[in-house]
Structure 1
Amino acid sequence: CFPNCLDPSILGDIMAGGASKVKEAGAVLVGGHSVQDDDPKYGLCVSGFVETDKILRNYGAKPGDVLILTKQIGSGIINTAIKAEMCSEEAEQEACDVMKSLNKKAKEAMEGLCVHACTDITGFGLLGHGIEMAQASQVFVDLYVKKVPVITDALSYAEMGLVPAGSYNNREYTGHLVDRAQVADVYYDLLYDPQSSGGLLFSIPQEQADLAMQRLKEAELDTKTAIIGEVRELGAGEEKRIALID
């Protein structure tokens, strides 16, 4: 969708950028359509075939695993700050770099390791998708809040109230499953921040953690990676699925 009040060269740049990412992903662009609209919008629909022996599922995390996140979070907050014209150039650039980075390199770096579970962090935020993994795996997660990589200034903007509506919706949906006694509200907002083009969350055995981090470093990702949590057994009758550790 594209408004006729904008220079067509902008549309050309959008299309060129999209085509570049399609090529980087190893796919081909086979068609599309354009619609005049007041707000520019661009998106892709992907179809293909999956090699069944290479599927990474969002369940199967085991007690003793560590959780590795491959991108910093905060893009929803940064985008809200941009719309409010309150975002620093540094934060805007970092958010753009994160969002335009594919997960392909991170996924390839983990090949050959024992990945028990994997999910991408998108609209439900880190907590929402982490809860989804914990529930499906019937485990409990300790999430170390200060180890989670964050886009520059995202925490400050969250303190100012520049939080997207999706964050509050996410909290309402799964907040009852989080033990957040140790952390301030601002971190809660950040961890529930809906991500655009978020990273991957891997659950792997503790003994492979160092090798995994070394491989991710050698992959020269354009994003920050970190070990952010641990998986443990779910206690009998325990209703919570994630504890936030300061």
Structure 2
Amino acid sequence: MSTDIKLTSFSHGGGCGCKIAPGVLSDILKHTQGFPMPKELMVGIETSDDAAVYRLNDEQALIATTDFFMPIVDDPYDFGRIAATNAISDVYAMGGTPIMALALVGMPINKLPLEVIGQILKGGESICAEAGIPIAGGHTIDSVEPIYGLVVLGLVHPDKVKRNADARPGDVLILGKPLGVGVLSAALKKGALSEAGYAAMIANTTKLNKPGKALSELSGVHALTDVTGFGLLGHTLELARGAGLSAHIDMHRVPLLPGVEQLAQDGYFTGASGRNWQSYGAQVRLGAQISPAQQALLTDPQTSGGLLVACDPASVDAVLTTFAKEGFGHASVIGQMQTGPATVEVQ
């Protein structure tokens, strides 16, 4: 769509870079009042998992999640697609199948043409159609910054739920998508992103994490999450904390989007990357050879990022094959879970 409107000019932070820093979020939540949880609630907030899961019966559990943010790109249709893909990902990250969505829409009505807003919604609808689910309703408000996202509901067999806290010693870590979305978005906002870079960014952020459902069927897959606003280090640290294990990452095996390491070296990274490091850097040990650009990529907020899998070594080939069948050619073994304190070590 051709428009002179630059959506990113309305937002103080775009995509999953809008997230409250993990340390600040932890401080906020620790002051909330506890409430007795029903026995049917299989997954709540206790391990910062991707979605809530509520057992309905012996065959079905309901997955409920929501995600929304300000524009990460200027094209309204692409913004809608990215936001919808990102929201639906949390259902796949629990091993489930999405069944329905509700739209969350906040727009500066007096500043954005209705045609632009309509294109955002159409972008979200196109991804929901690809996922095979309807947008069955939603809620709209007049807001200062453009905001779009979804509430997504899904189903999963109670025995097939994949939490982020169940990794085991010796498990291999596999990442489904390359890193660097935040770096590309920073370059885009400063007018330094090439057409090829933009195309790679859109392809990465609009690719649904459909392998999650098939991965839930593999008994050797013990833990599953998706890498989003807290970066690879932050979400790996959540796996480590949940399991009470140490995570070890080989930087040279971490897949990266084309050109992002050079862009990071040139100073194109988001403020969220630094906030992430400030929040959890004390629990991370970086090898002496890890450069500042690589550190920025490890903390880079990933909008609609890849699935992070912890599986036993015997299941690695099955996991990589599952990713490959859905067109995730960048899926890579990046590390391992080991006994030790809940930290992340990168070499």
| TM beyond 0.5 | yes
Q: How big is the alpha-carbon RMSD for the aligned residues of Structure 1 and Structure 2?
A: 2.0
1:18 to 2:124 alignment: yes
Once residues 176 and 155 of structure 2 are traced to their aligned partners in structure 1, the CA distance between those partners, rounded to angstroms, is 25
Q: Is the 8 A contact 1:124 1:170 kept in 2?
A: yes
The offset of 1:34, in angstroms, is 4.2
1:133 corresponding residue in structure 2: 239
Q: Is the 8 A contact 2:161 2:216 kept in 1?
A: no
1:164 corresponding residue in structure 2: 270
The offset of 1:185, in angstroms, is 1.4
Q: Is the 8 A contact 1:94 1:151 kept in 2?
A: yes
Match of 1:203 among 296, 299, 310: 310
Unaligned runs of 5+ in 2: 1-106
What one-letter code is carried by the residue in structure 1 that aligns with 2:213?
A: E
Counting only pairs closer than 5 Å after superposition, residues 52-131 of structure 1 correspond to structure 2 as: 52-104=158-210, 106-113=211-218, 114-131=220-237
The offset of 1:89, in angstroms, is 1.1
Q: Is the 8 A contact 1:116 1:203 kept in 2?
A: yes
1:191 to 2:295 alignment: no
Once residues 193 and 204 of structure 1 are traced to their aligned partners in structure 2, the CA distance between those partners, rounded to angstroms, is 24
Which secondary structure does the structure 2 equivalent of 1:142 belong to? strand
What one-letter code is carried by the residue in structure 2 that aligns with 1:191?
A: L
The offset of 1:186, in angstroms, is 1.1
Match of 2:337 among 225, 228, 231: 231
Once residues 19 and 110 of structure 1 are traced to their aligned partners in structure 2, the CA distance between those partners, rounded to angstroms, is 26
Q: Is the 8 A contact 2:246 2:339 kept in 1?
A: yes
> Could you tell which deviates more after superposition, 158-167 or 12-21?
12-21
Q: Is the 8 A contact 2:162 2:216 kept in 1?
A: no
* Percent identity of equivalent pairs: 33
| TM-score normalised by the chain length of structure 2 | 0.64
Once residues 3 and 243 of structure 1 are traced to their aligned partners in structure 2, the CA distance between those partners, rounded to angstroms, is 47
| TM-score normalised by the chain length of structure 1 | 0.89
**More contact order relative to length (CA 8 Å, sep ≥ 6):** 1
1:216 corresponding residue in structure 2: 323
Deviations 1:171-224 (A, max 9, x none): 011111111023111111100011111111000001111122122212223x62
1:243 corresponding residue in structure 2: 345
Deviations 1:117-154 (A, max 9, x none): 11111111000010111111111111011111111221
Which secondary structure does the structure 1 equivalent of 2:300 belong to? coil
Once residues 47 and 217 of structure 1 are traced to their aligned partners in structure 2, the CA distance between those partners, rounded to angstroms, is 26
Q: How many residues align?
A: 239
The offset of 1:87, in angstroms, is 0.7
Which secondary structure does the structure 1 equivalent of 2:247 belong to? strand
Unaligned runs of 5+ in 1: none
Q: Is the 8 A contact 1:3 1:40 kept in 2?
A: no
